[in-house]
Amino acid sequence: MDWLAAVFPLAQSGFGNLAAYLAAHVLLCLLPAFFIAGAMTALIPKQAITRFLGRNTHKRVSYPAAAAAGSVLAVCSCTIVPIFAGIYRKGAGIGPAITFLFFAPAANILALVYTGGIIGPDLAFARFFLSLSFGIGIGLLMAMIFRSEDEAHDRATDALFAAQDANGISRAALAFLGVWVVLLLAGTLKIGVLTDAHFDLIAPLSGVDSLQFRLDALVPHNAANGEEGVSVHGLALIALLATIGVAAWRGMERIHEGFNRWTWTALGLIAATLLVASLAVQAVPEGLRIGFTGRFFGVFAALGLLGAIGSRLSTDELRDWLWESWRFVKQIFPLLVVGVFLVGVIRVLIRPEWIQALAGENTVLANLAGVAFGVFMYFPTLVEVPIAKMFLDLGMHRGPLLAYLMADPELSLQSILIVSAIIGKLRTWTYVGWVAIFSTVAGLVYGAWVDGASLALVGAYLASFLGLLAIGLWWAERRNHVPAGAPAILEK
């Protein structure tokens, strides 16, 4: 029976972690995020962005456009690979292609929302801005290092990027997307107007307080190491989530054959769940105290608007939107569930002292450790976020944490294989090296800022890094005897 005694706390921690995540984090953050990602994929005409990625587009347009494409269009490798190959082979060349490749996994809508919801908006913003500037930086570097080979592509045609049907996004679709973003913000922002309950109601249910007592005994909760526990409210939400799962499976899986009753049931349940999740519920001796928060009214208004705008979208648009959203859920959610469970298990095994000793402070070594872990461990899309949360709870500094978060999604075995199949081994390993360097610097700079370094000092760090880089490049340029006038990249 010894092994049972050893395994039980692990399983308990795993399930506890999973239950806490499903109850607390998934609903108001991830559910709208899936629908937003689905809407972006289905409703934004891809040509609206990719036509800026043609061969003849100026750098000032093509690099930002590549980043925009990464953030808006690409959530899974299914979209990333063809666009990457297209930009590289027939379009703007290796620079923008690399920018796209770097930016897509770190700053697509799902990754950003999830990072913001679980770890904090500060890290989500840092991830966004540093990925953007470094993505463009690495793109420019790669374009420069491999310029001669890139020029061979220049005779290729630009037909792929000629605006085939350059229709923009329809106004109804844009409004639809906008209201989803409002719903996401109303559901996740932590400001008083939204979180305060404007009036209370007590539902006279007997026994909820003893149920809460038993839940507390069953699911460990300890704020010190990040274990959150589950409330009665959370339990109800997990049950709703399971029902949605069943209804969605029957309603969304065959959606190309038309909408059925299950489709509407699933949508109704999702609306109900979002509303329930936005209430403030507390078990008290008299029953269940239900607080109607500002969040609740915000979500309610947004859902009403979505219904009104949704009826103006065409059946094709609605179907594509639901299908893409469902596909993301099917692809990502199971991995997330397994990942979160395993994080709960591992959390029991890792001693906080190890993490604190290795990466508790913002040093070069700690940032390198974060990057090395990110490079050598491979986690499926979004699972890096709960793992990062675990490290944070165990005492990792936010700087090395950012270094890890930058390196992990960009450099996985999968992406390295894809890239080397398309651009070759030498270029791929050059790219990998740059990502490692840039991630370490990103962690150091952000960590210094978190530690209270003045903006000037942080700026000085960044400037000296970029200065060293520029000198290195200038030197490489000289050695290669590139004809004058060519290094347009260094002008800015």
Partner 1 sequence: MLTIKILGPGCANCRRVEEVARKAATDLGVDAEFVKVTDFNDILAYNVMTTPGLVINEKLVCSGRVPAPNSVAGWINEARAA
List interacting residues with partner 1 (CB under 8 A): 42, 46, 50, 73, 76-79, 81-83, 85-86, 89-90, 159-160, 256-257, 316, 319-320, 323, 327, 330-331, 422
Cβ-based nearer residue to partner 1, 2 or 316: 316
d(CA 392, CA 299): 30
Nearest to 293 by CA among 203, 186, 182: 186
Judged by beta carbon, residue 89 or residue 221, the one nearer partner 1 is 89
Nearer to partner 1, 7 or 156 (CB): 156
Distance, in Å, from the CA atom of 16 to the CA atom of 230, rounded to the nearest integer, reads 8
Quickly count: other Cβ atoms within 10 Å of residue 6's Cβ: 9
Instruction: CB nearer to partner 1: give 55 or 327.
Output: 327
Cβ of residue 160: shortest distance to partner 1, in angstroms? 5
**Alpha-carbon distance values, 329 to 26, 108, 242, 335 (Å):** 12, 15, 13, 10
Strand order in the sheet with 197-203: 197-203, 287-293, 280-284
Dist. CA 312–CA 259, nearest whole Å: 16
Question: What is the C-alpha separation between 174 and 466, in angstroms, rounded?
Answer: 38
Using alpha carbons, select from 277, 289, 287 the residue that is nearest to residue 211: 287
Least distance from partner 1 to the Cβ atom of residue 421, Å: 8
CB 83 to partner 1: min, Å? 6
Q: What are phi and psi of 282, to 5 degrees?
A: -140, 135
Least separation in angstroms between CB 260 and partner 1: 15
The candidate with the shortest Cα–Cα distance to 321, out of 447, 424, 176, is: 176
Q: Which is nearer to partner 1, 79 or 363 (CB)?
A: 79
> CA 350, CA 394: separation in Å to the nearest integer?
8
| Cα–Cα nearest to 472, from 445, 485, 446, 490 | 490
Cα torsion 147, 148, 154, 156: sign:
negative
Residue 163 beta carbon to partner 1: minimum distance, rounded to whole angstroms: 13
Tell me the closest approach of the beta carbon of residue 175 to partner 1, in angstroms: 21
Q: How far is the CB of 206 from partner 1 (least distance, A)?
A: 47
Q: Of the two residues 253 and 451, which places its CB atom closer to partner 1 in the complex?
A: 253
Indicate the residue among 316 and 491 with the shorter CB distance to partner 1.
Answer: 316
**Residue from 385, 480, 443, 408 nearest 126 by CA:** 443
319 vs 389, which CB is nearer to partner 1?
319
Task: Quote the CA–CA distance of 223 and 220 in Å, as a whole number.
Answer: 10
Question: What minimum distance in Å lies between the beta carbon of 313 and partner 1?
Answer: 14
User: By C-alpha distance, which of 289, 61, 62, 42 is closest to 173?
Assistant: 42
Nearer to partner 1, 252 or 369 (CB): 252
CB of 319 to partner 1, least distance (A): 7
Residue 228's φ and ψ, nearest 5 degrees, are -100, -20
**CA gap 324, 76 in Å, rounded:** 11
Q: Could you tell me the smallest distance in angstroms from the CB atom of residue 264 to partner 1?
A: 19
Instruction: Kindly tell me which of 319 and 397 has the beta carbon lying closer to partner 1.
Output: 319
Distance between CA atoms of 14 and 4, rounded to whole angstroms?
15
Decide whether 43 or 390 has the Cβ nearer to partner 1. 43
CA–CA distance, 385 with 401 (Å, rounded to integer):
10
d(CA 342, CA 353): 20
Smallest separation (angstroms) from partner 1 to the CB of 159: 6
